[in-house]
Chains A and B, each alone.
Chain A
């Protein structure tokens, strides 16, 4: 894997994490303000844009590498999303959830190293 490809993997990872957090925030807004509020539409569009960037970067990576090799890199997003959701969205983070997320991330990294 080249340095440029690694940078693209990292940007795609940021797109995934940011996209998920922003979309969760948008769906929480929809519960309170409905689907037609301007605030919801702006946040939702930002989330979709982030996920779109991630989609195309992922497609470019798949043209060069095996699916079973590239996909696990996104697995790092598990632990990042679990912690950022607890910090930024104030979701409850239990010990079991932390340990489970760490195991999942470790497993995914192990898959990608192989």
Chain B
């Protein structure tokens, strides 16, 4: 009988933890990148100058947390299911960019967000089938 992780080791819990950490990471990284955009040097295209901001370092902490959770997810859930589900970040990030960074969301972007949500609803059935097996 295959091992069924439960409680804090539940891979679905880790999938959501990873999604939350990625959302926070992207928002902090944008803050860090904006703060350091004026630092012009020949290596600026690599993004390395972004490390001058503490926001980027906190972002790195969150991306490490998300990576650890994601690695746990990869041990138990197929990539072709876990990755599409993790794309709920494409709904969360524009919403959070609008709420916390003051970025605009125009009509077409709302349509895109709706399509992503529709796709997630379609993917939900294979997810439920897998959860029954896990």
Assembly CA distance A59 to B45 (angstroms): 9
Which listed residue (B84, B109, B116) contacts A68, Cβ 8 A? B109
Does B54 touch A at the CB level, under 8 Å? no
Does A33 touch B at the CB level, under 8 Å? no
Main secondary structure of the interface of B (DSSP, over half): helix
CB <8 Å contact, A24 and B74: yes
CB <8 Å contact, A63 and B44: yes
Which listed residue (A57, A96, A99) contacts B46, Cβ 8 A? A57
What's the tally of chain A residues with a CB closer than 8 Å to chain B?
56
Which listed residue (B45, B98, B112) contacts A109, Cβ 8 A? B112
Q: How many A-B residue pairs have CB under 8 A?
A: 187
Main secondary structure of the interface of A (DSSP, over half): helix
What's the tally of chain B residues with a CB closer than 8 Å to chain A?
59
Does B103 touch A at the CB level, under 8 Å? yes
Assembly CA distance A94 to B123 (angstroms): 10
Q: Which residue of B lies closest to A67 (CB)?
A: B30
CB <8 Å contact, B27 and A67: yes
Residues of A within 8 A of B94 (CB): 68, 71, 111
Name the distance in Å between A86's Cβ and chain B's nearest Cβ: 6
Find residues 56-73 in chain B having any chain A CB closer than 8 Å to their own CB.
56, 63, 67, 70-71
Assembly CA distance A56 to B47 (angstroms): 5
**What 1/0 flags go to A81-114 for Cβ under 8 Å of B?**
1100110010111101101111111111111111
Name the distance in Å between B84's Cβ and chain A's nearest Cβ: 5
CB <8 Å contact, B81 and A63: no
Which listed residue (B83, B93, B98, B101) contacts A78, Cβ 8 A? B83
Q: Which 5 A-B pairs have the closest CB atoms?
A: A107-B115, A59-B47, A103-B119, A60-B47, A110-B112
Q: List 9 A-B contacts (CB under 8 A).
A: A24-B74, A63-B34, A63-B36, A71-B89, A89-B79, A94-B126, A108-B87, A110-B111, A111-B113
